[in-house]
Structure 1
Amino acid sequence: MSLPKQFTFPFFYEPHPLSLLAADQVKMYLRTQQDFKHPFWSDEQLNESPIGKMFGVMVVKDSNGNLGFLAAVSGKLANTNKHAYFVPPIYDILDEEGFFRAEEHHINRINRDIEHIQNGEAFAEAKTKLEEVKSANESALKAARELHKANKKERKQIRSTLDTVLPDVETQAILEDLIKQSYRDQHEYDVLKLETRTELNKAQSDVDQYIEKIERLKEERKRRSAALQKKIFDQYQFLNAHGETKDVLSIFQETAGIIPPAGAGECAAPKLFQYAYLNQLTPICMAEFWWGTSSASEVRLHEHYYPSCRGKCEPILGFMMQGLDVESNPLLQATHTPKGLDIVFEDNDILVVNKPSELLSVPGKQISDSVFERAMELRPDMTGPIIIHRLDMSTSGILVLAKNKEAHQFIQDQFIQHTIVKRYTALLNGLISEDEGLIDLPLRVDLDDRPRQMVCYTYGKPARTQFRVIERKNDRTKIHFFPLTGRTHQLRVHSAHSLGLHTPIVGDDIYGTRENRLHLHAGFIRFIHPTSGKEISFEVADPF
């Protein structure tokens, strides 16, 4: 077995045979080990929800040319970072003797103090007293206003009869007394307002003293948390093949301009690189695989190999691989697809094409070749905006382009109103029992691993797909999908997720297993033509 010429590009790769050999040994260890207990499966009696873990292997060479391998796990395992078989973390945040635990206990104590005040009887009584005082004051002032209003009305009535009943001297005396009554009412109201304000201020002060205590504790917690986070960042010092060191905060600020996300540096890959460099071992190749049950939000298949996550690992590994001869990023290489465009239909308003797999719908950051670019080359007189909808790069099939602004808006409105009928054909990597049905799983992007999508009932956007099986053959299912919404990777996730069909699409390199292509094809579309106003449809047979 020959050594690879370059180190594995960790974000898109086929595991080298040496990595597979090392991974097989790790899998054997996981099947037979008695070193720890972790709920990889639902039948393990640990009173914990089952959840799998990502493991990594790195084949290395020592100074004498001897080959071996390192193994690592992402995050903690069995509530500890200390394992005989796996390399240690860059910093053991779970060390009971470390500063993190000590400060964590202090911050937890502050949290308990805040909770004690917020839920305490004294604070509750003070708030109740304040509300009672407010209510009593409002009632007293309201009663006073009503009394004074009645007095004012009575005085007005008296004034209206004075000039016809009494002599001038007596009238003047009564008028002066009425004025005094008015002043007296106003004075009594001012005194009552002062008394109620004083009582209210006292009740408010009693409440404020608890609020101020809470705010002081929260400010202390914020200050301590920020200092702790800074100290944690300082512990994550990463090495590269040149022997250079850089902390995690600097890495993320220089490459992404952001604060490192939670868990940055805790994945398997950075642990493997760090241990190799610290022990003068040369990285040869690596691979990462999932072991156990997938979480409810993700699609992870037992024993399947996955690339390193981009959100947490890409900036870190970008630094740690400096000095290594690494494979080029295949995602930045232009794909070999047939030249030109396969035109299905064309008139003055629209251009309907059959997009091949692995061709972008629109230009990417590094690759410009796309349906848009090719359409502009073929029809430079199109005024656009041209692109009405998109297909994933790996998905083939019908794409409708607009040749003018009016056609674009007319057809786009139909997409927005969900009146366009679309049908996809997919080949699933397994047999499903249902003949037809509806999948309703809301989706959102995985912030740590774009463009991967996750099922999320809290922040996800609605995603609904109807399906109908058309053939079962050779342990695979051919199926028609009718998407009722248009979320990123919707059909791929709905196929692979355990709450969906639990059967990935053949060739899905994100949610399943890579093959020669993704077996997903947009084969049918029906909509209203922008000029004729008539319903038109197009159908293209799937290539698999």
Structure 2
Amino acid sequence: MFGVLVVRLPEGRLGFLRAFSGMLAGRWDVEGYVPPLFDREARASLEPQGEATVKALFARAEAMRASPELLTLRAAHAEQSARHASEIVALRERHEVRRKQRHARRAELTEAASKSSTPEASAHAAELRDSLHALDQESRGDKAERRRLEATHASERSSLEPKLLRLERRLRALDRLRHMVSRAVMRRIHDTYVITNARGERRLLRSLYERAQPPSGAADCAAPKLLAYAQAHGLRPVALAEFWWGAPPPSGGRVTGAYYAACRDKCGPLLPFMLDGLFVARPRTFTPPSTTPGSLSILFEDRWLVVVAKPHGLLSVPGREASLSDSVLTRLKARYPDATGPLLVHRLDLDTSGLLVAALDARTHSALQRQFVHREVHKRYVAWVDGIVTGEQGRIDFPMRVDLDDRPRQIHDPIHGKPAVTEWRVIERRGDRTRVAFFPLTGRTHQLRVHAAHPLGLGAPIVGDRLYGRDGERLMLHAESLTLLHPGTGERVTFDSPVPF
């Protein structure tokens, strides 16, 4: 991330400063850019030794992880655990067969005894008791066999697990020690950052964060560097902007040349203190496009459901503010005042146009939602993307989640993300743009927009995408076709909405 700060010089003229977040090409200092905030001498006395200690502990832990003894014990334990589980399952299956046989035999004996009325009944009763006792003995024998097997397993584990647990404890202790040393070094490094605000007040960096634990890279972003330099040199900040330049990060969500707000985890606690004493414009709140959304076209309606064509610029559901009350849901409620249930079955982004389905009763709504959840609804979207897409068709499959530092943006996260799958096909190429058909198999927020823009997807943001690409007259994304099972008639029906671009 790069940043530019417009400043007013002491003599009244305007000037500007520039900075980059973190390091540039492995360097803290690059000519023409403001320097970092930390005390160089203090950091130079701490960082090399601390880094060497942490690396040495890491090397010891990695050597232990790769040691033949630990690897052999882990493999033996895994094999032993799998064998024990298999033996328990096999024994349980044998015992279940025997139990059913005993149950059937008891039923036969009881039924035969109930039908016997001969003089020999007393003898039959004795035989019945003996037979039932034998069956009970078999049941107790199965339980004893289970206990013997479990005892054998426990004995086998006792010869292996203590050795493995001892090595695992040593490894965990090394990892904990490395983390403790690393945190201690970082605390001392963080204390080389002294932050000054526009009132001249000075604070240690750690004091500005909850539990005195700043995240990695705190105060190394472009904005804090620029503000600190301006304050230190008597320059009054006027306007600040940060933008991304270069290849997108692995998580996506950044496009070269696009402007972005300051991050919340690193700069959120820091910038309010640094800006204290300056006039700061109020944060911008989202407002819909200035153009009035078009009318809501009713493409199909019956006693069960309604299909509409949503214009771009119209919300699917009302926003929290009074100014955001106009929406598809609001208009549908006015048109169908007797409808029950939540009406809308799914949603489209504000900037996306196309087909939306609403249910006029709760039962229909539940039936349609089940189809969406179980991926039984076939959807086709059409978009113009900004770039020449390689290939003619394909499948994009990578997990996504919301960017907690920059809502409502979504990012790629292979660990915490939820599955997101889209199939695509090129329709047309024109100039430096590609017309693409998207077939989403899941319904994640901004799925098509992220899958288009991310390098793991098409690497070409949708034209007019103000979040993942560049702003334009409109987002060139339209929900063109929708096929589902009609809950009222049981027929497979398809609805279409012509693409307006």
Relative to the length of structure 1, the TM-score reads 0.65
1:295-306 equivalent positions in 2, closer than 5 A: 295-298=249-252, 300-306=254-260
Aligned length: 418
Question: CA offset at residue 485 of structure 1?
Answer: 2.1
CA distance in 1, matches of 2:212, 2:187: 14
User: Aligned partners of 1:377 and 1:224: how far apart in 2?
Assistant: 63
Correspondence list, 1:168-183, <5 A: none
Between 484-493 and 65-74, the greater mean CA deviation after superposition: 484-493
Relative distance call for 1:259 and 1:426 in structure 2 (3 A) is farther
Establish whether residue 390 from structure 1 lines up as the match of residue 337 from structure 2.
no
Unaligned runs of 5+ in 1: 1-53, 135-196
Instruction: Report the counterpart of residue 501 of structure 1 in structure 2.
Output: 458
**Which residue is 2:119 aligned to?**
none
Q: Which residue of 1 aligns with 2:23?
A: 76
Q: Which residue does 2:393 correspond to in 1?
A: 437
Q: Which residue of 1 aligns with 2:426?
A: 469
Give the corresponding residue for 1:292.
246
Residues 91 and 236, structure 1, Cα contact 8 Å, conserved in 2:
yes
Q: Hey, what does 1:347 align to over in structure 2?
A: 302
TM-score, normalised by the number of residues in structure 2: 0.70
Cα distance, 1:529 vs. partner? Answer: 1.9
Of 413, 433, 436, the residue aligned with 1:479 is: 436
Q: Does 1:516 align with 2:459?
A: no
Partner in structure 2 of residue 452 of structure 1:
409
How much does 1:76 deviate? 1.3
Q: CA deviation at 1:449?
A: 3.6
Distance in 1, matches of 2:345 and 2:41, equals 51
Among 243, 252, 266, the alignment partner of 1:312 is: 266
Retained in 1: the 8 A contact 2:424–2:438?
Answer: yes
In the TM superposition, residue 315 of structure 1 has moved relative to its aligned partner by 4.2
With over 3 angstroms needed to count, the CA separation of the structure-2 counterparts of 1:460 and 1:237, relative to structure 1, is same
Whether 1:62 aligns to 2:3 is: no
* Contact kept? 2:393, 2:426, Cα under 8 Å: no
Give, in whole Å, the separation in 2 of the partners of 1:119 and 1:467: 43
Structure-to-structure mapping, 1:185-334, within 5 angstroms: 217-245=174-202, 251-253=208-210, 260-298=214-252, 300-334=254-288
Could you say which structure has the larger radius of gyration?
1
Query: Equivalent pairs: percent with the same residue?
Result: 41
Is the 2:396–2:456 contact (alpha carbons within 8 Å) kept by the matching residues of 1? no
Q: Which amino acid aligns with 1:308?
A: A
Q: Does 1:107 align with 2:65?
A: no
How many angstroms apart in 1 are the aligned matches of 2:448 and 2:417? 15
Structure 2: segments with no counterpart, 5+ residues: 81-154
Structure 1 residues 58, 498: closer, same or farther in 2, change over 3 A? Answer: same
Gap change, CA 1:534 and 1:109, over 3 Å in 2: same
Distance 1:505 1:397 in 2: 16
What letter is aligned with 1:345? F
Match of 1:360 among 315, 318, 322: 315
**1:77, distance to aligned residue in structure 2 (A):** 1.9
Two-structure CA RMSD over aligned residues (Å): 3.9
- SS in structure 2 at match of 1:492: helix
Q: Aligned partners of 1:126 and 1:524: how far apart in 2?
A: 57
Specify whether residues 93 and 412 from structure 1 end up closer, same or farther in structure 2 by C-alpha distance, changes over 3 A only: farther
Return the alpha-carbon distance in structure 1 between the equivalents of residues 286 and 465 of structure 2. Answer: 19
Residue in 2 that maps onto 1:490: 447
- Deviation string 1:92-139 (CA, Å, 9 cap, x unpaired) is 799762424433333333334445566668x769979x99xx9xxxxx
**Matched position secondary structure for 1:468:** strand
Q: Which amino acid aligns with 2:238?
A: I
Q: Which residue of 2 aligns with 1:13?
A: none
1:411-454, CA deviations, whole angstroms, 9 ceiling, x for partnerless residues? 111111212121212122244454x4123230323454443333
Contact 1:239 1:246 in 2 (8 A): yes
Deviation at 1:398, TM superposition (A): 1.8
C-alpha distance after superposition, 1:442-477 (max 9, x if no partner): 032345444333345555444332333344445433
Check conservation: 2:399, 2:412, Cα contact below 8 A.
Answer: yes
Q: Give the letter aligned to residue 72 of structure 1.
A: A
Q: Distance in 2 between matches of 1:523 and 1:124?
A: 58
Q: Give the Cα–Cα distance (whole angstroms) in 1 for the partners of residues 40 and 274 of structure 2.
A: 21
Where do 1:1-80 residues align within 5 Å?
A: 54-80=1-27
Query: 2:473 is aligned with what amino acid?
Result: N
Query: Structure 1 residues 357, 328: closer, same or farther in 2, change over 3 A?
Result: farther
Distance in 1 (CA, whole Å) between partners of 2:431 and 2:173 is: 68
* Contact 1:312/1:448, CA 8 A, preserved across alignment: no
Find 1:400's aligned residue among 348, 351, 357.
357
